[in-house]
Amino acid sequence: MNLTILGSTGSIGASTLDVVARHPDRYRVTALTAQCRDEILFEQCLRFKPRYAVLLDEAAAARLKQKLSVAALDTEVLHGMEALERVSSLPEVDAVMAAIVGAAGLRPTLAAARAGKKILLANKETLVMAGAVFMDAVRASGSVLLPIDSEHNAIFQSLPRDYAGDMAASGVSKILLTASGGPFRNTPLSELQSVTPEQACAHPNWSMGKKISVDSASMMNKGLEVIEAHWLFNVPADVIEVVVHPQSVIHSLVQYVDGSVLAQLGNPDMRTPIAYALAWPERIAAGVAPLDLYKVAQLDFTAPDFARFPCLGLAYQALRAGGTAPAVMNAANEVAVAAFLERRISFTAIPRLIEDVLASLPVSAVNTLDDVLGADVAARAAARTWGRQ
């Protein structure tokens, strides 16, 4: 199987390459991509020898090209968004790991869908921003869509093999998304105003990039996953329930009309869902230790605190509003998280900024990708001027 890995220098990309390296007889890397981390991409190119390496940043691409030339490696270096779209739809590519964080991953992932590729979807924003457009492209091309988020992958594993988006026909009554609660699950509300980016990025169970770590701390990450679940499994907001489960051992559950609840359990390691999606419908070794239930000993579950985590409520609000509302919310969140990481706003200002931007922009129907991108631009502009009025 020939692979393009979008976002190969991030945590999901690195985990994907780890699984790929364990099965050199099954997988070949055709293209690796990154935003600007040319040093890491160079090391990956040396090891996996892809036909193409793509960087969004032109200067980084020039540096990588020079290094590969010195190393006498026959990898073609490209740069820019069009290059990302190109390597996502190459005729020789069988599957695309979509692991670019943020809105930047939307266009290349959509290109893969339109080209009928097997898509391993780790980019939340593709479905959050443009769920209708993306799912239409998947259906039109016959693309195979496999979720990589541990929660959605768990749901996928817990649903009937022939599930086709009809809850009633499959006897499904509810989707239960588990959430760790992040680093601030028990932090006094009075202290959240003063938490630092370092504290927000110190996730208790998962090793992730800064943006995703902050989203986990605010539970916006779970809000985005609620919207994803709506599109992936064709279920309304009212049957998607978030359950706080600090141990991150049960990755999500599916409730059936007969009273059964099926769950997928495992150690918190992204190589498990990655390996499952790469080999689906088979299973392959992922390098992950089996779960030791005696060591786990205890599993806890609580309802989410919407007062503590207002971002989760905003995500449900955007999903129910539909149209461009999720894209507006996502864009405002990206700007807010960047401002928090740069210490320009407080942690508790993140949901206030998002709420104000949602209130300030009208909700429009989404018929094309341009509708989504226009809402994204407008929301970012509004978010950047927040607090200056």
Level-2 CATH architecture, domain 322-384: Orthogonal Bundle (1.10)
Structure-token pair, residue 324? 């461009």
pLDDT category at 389 given cuts 50, 70, 90 is low
- The per-residue pLDDT for 101 is 82
State yes or no: pLDDT of 69 exceeds 90.
yes
Is the whole model's pTM more than 0.85, yes or no?
yes
Structure-token pair, residue 209? 């990039």
Q: What is the mean pLDDT of residues 174-189?
A: 93
- The per-residue pLDDT for 124 is 85
- The per-residue pLDDT for 207 is 62
pLDDT category at 380 given cuts 50, 70, 90 is very high
State yes or no: pLDDT of 315 exceeds 60.
yes
pLDDT category at 104 given cuts 50, 70, 90 is confident
CA 249, CA 283: separation in Å to the nearest integer? 20
- Name the CATH code of domain 2-147 (choices 3.30.565.10, 3.90.190.20, 3.40.50.720, 3.20.20.80): 3.40.50.720
pLDDT tens for each residue of 216-234: 999 999 999 999 999 999 9
Chain position carrying tokens 């220098």: 9
**Percent of the residues in the chain that have a pLDDT greater than 90, as a whole number:** 93
pLDDT category at 31 given cuts 50, 70, 90 is very high
pLDDT category at 210 given cuts 50, 70, 90 is confident
Q: Hey, where are the domains in the chain? A: 2-147, 155-268, 322-384
State yes or no: pLDDT of 206 exceeds 90.
no
**For residue 224, which phi and psi values (nearest 5 degrees)?**
-65, -35
CA 77, CA 79: separation in Å to the nearest integer? 7
Q: Do 322-384 and 2-147 have the same topology in CATH? A: no
